[in-house]
Structure 1
Amino acid sequence: MPFDLGPGTAAALAIALLGAAYVRGYSGFGFSAIFIAFAALVTNPLPLIPVVFACEMLMTVFQARGIRGYIDWRRILWLLVGAAIALPFSVSFILSVGEGTVRIIISGIILVLSLVLLSGWTLRARIGPLGHGGVGVLSGICNSAGIGGLPVAAFMSAQPMEAAVFRATMIVYLTGLDMITMPLLWAGGLVTWDTARGIVLAFPMLALGVWLGGRQFLSASPSTFRRFAVMLLLALSLLGLMRAIIRI
């Protein structure tokens, strides 16, 4: 078993992976945040982050056909510019701290951003390239902990966007973000043979979860399911913080 995971832990992570892939297939975001938040409850989540990023890119391949006509490329470009500026510094920081600190950082960021999403916060002013670049910087900072999609999801959910555009733009942005981050994680020693083994083992769960989530997207309101996903993130962040505090 990769990463020296026991059978029980591996089974729990597989179920979490399936659920997170379903959320991604449906809403376009939340996969890494949900899976990493859960992983932080049962193991050290840091070595799993490259696996999560590779999984995100694989899921985009599964979803590419259905999202082509809805992608906001201009928005994605400026978000990625901001993220690329922040990522080298944020990855260097996350690799230098211990497991307990990583747990607190991941859970704390998810908690704050989940509350933002639940608050119904809205943006009335038109957001230009600098605004998108600034959100990209925040996303890059968060992506060193594997949750770079949440700031962007909060930002875009506060604007009037069609559900299909929101979903497609999130999917493509997260793919670009992970492609920038992976070489930095490799340079930091986090990408190993265990990473490759983890990706192979994850593939069946990814395919099934994304397929089921994509079918659900066609028949239900994405805004309703986004609320469910955020409530799940909120619960996981609180559990993660409690476990980290108890261990201090």
Structure 2
Amino acid sequence: MNALVEAASAVLADWRLLGAVLATAIAGVMRGYSGFGTAVILAPVYSLLWGPRAGVPVMLLMELLVSVQLLPGAIKDADKRVVLPLGGAAALATPFGAWILLTADDDLLRRFIGGFVLVFGLLLMSGWRYRGSRPLPLNILVGTLAGLLKGSTGMSGPPVILYLLAGLEEAKRHRANLILFFATIAIVSVIPPALGGLIDLPVLLRLAVLLPVMALSVPVGVRLFRVVPDRLYRPFAMGVLLAAGGLALFG
């Protein structure tokens, strides 16, 4: 009992928790609005605050719970023919990516996460998208790449987002596709860190503090999706991505 109290006191007294709370609130609003944003914001920020091996498991557990929260309202609108092969391939590849998380140098991995988010944000700002068709072999290839990234960095979104946003579907379909994809790999992604001993008491205590912040922020984003035009949301979202990537890369 004393060990639990001491660990909780250490987590709550750490100034870095305040930064994590702010980042979590912003990520929750983005996730509720667009269907993505949790990993690409929180992976670099949490890695900067606590290091990848301590920060990424917190984000993975949160991603799992947020996916459960959003999935019922999105599953009927998603294009399952495209998303399920993507998610299946990603789920199979995730454990292989987790080997990198368990063995890579912490500082090097943090800078890779920051640089990757920075490049992703710049690509989104440029308007570049994949413009081709979505045949099954390509779905599996993109899903495999996403799974390797999920396991190693906690971020499966960037290749899938650029790939899925290529179509002419309405925003509601894009959002549902992303929510379904993230849900299909959320459970698999937490297994390797758990087996590798990365989900320890400090991780669970940080999750206990940050999860209510995320739970309250996601519905705010869902409501904003119904009233805020995309042209007003996008500059804010892109700015957040660039800031998060830059902090992890150069911090």
TM-score, normalized by length of structure 2?
Answer: 0.88
CA 1:137/1:164 → structure 2, altered by over 3 Å: closer, same or farther? same
Does the alignment pair 1:68 with 2:52?
Answer: no
CA 1:179/1:30 → structure 2, altered by over 3 Å: closer, same or farther? same
Does the alignment pair 1:170 with 2:178?
Answer: yes
The answer as to whether partners of 1:163 and 1:223 remain within 8 angstroms in 2 is no
Does the alignment pair 1:183 with 2:173?
Answer: no
Cα deviation, 1:24-69, whole Å, max 9, x if unaligned, reads 0111001111012222333313222222122122223332343232
Candidates 54, 66, 73, aligned match of 1:59: 66
CA 1:222/1:146 → structure 2, altered by over 3 Å: closer, same or farther? farther
TM-fit CA distance, 1:140: 1.1
Query: Which sections of structure 2, spanning at least 5 residues, go unmatched?
Result: 1-6
Candidates 91, 99, 112, aligned match of 2:106: 99
Give the alignment of 1:88-167 within 5 angstroms.
88-143=95-150, 144-167=152-175
- 3-state SS of the aligned residue for 1:29? coil
Does the alignment pair 1:28 with 2:35?
Answer: yes
| Cα distance between partner residues in 2 of 1:39 and 1:179 | 20
- 3-state SS of the aligned residue for 1:127? coil
TM-fit CA distance, 1:124: 3.3
| Cα distance between partner residues in 2 of 1:63 and 1:131 | 27
- 3-state SS of the aligned residue for 2:169? coil
Query: Which sections of structure 1, spanning at least 5 residues, go unmatched?
Result: 244-248
TM-score, normalized by length of structure 1?
Answer: 0.89
Aligned residues with identical type, % of pairs: 30
| Cα distance between partner residues in 2 of 1:139 and 1:16 | 23
TM-fit CA distance, 1:2: 5.6
| Cα distance between partner residues in 2 of 1:146 and 1:131 | 22
Residue in structure 2 matched with residue 48 of structure 1 by the alignment? 55
Residue in structure 1 matched with residue 240 of structure 2 by the alignment? 232
Residue in structure 2 matched with residue 208 of structure 1 by the alignment? 216
TM-fit CA distance, 1:75: 1.7
The answer as to whether partners of 1:26 and 1:222 remain within 8 angstroms in 2 is no
The answer as to whether partners of 2:87 and 2:185 remain within 8 angstroms in 1 is yes
| Cα distance between partner residues in 2 of 1:97 and 1:60 | 28
Residue in structure 2 matched with residue 80 of structure 1 by the alignment? 87
- 3-state SS of the aligned residue for 1:218? helix
Paired residues, number: 243
TM-fit CA distance, 1:222: 4.0
RMSD: 2.1
Residue in structure 1 matched with residue 4 of structure 2 by the alignment? none
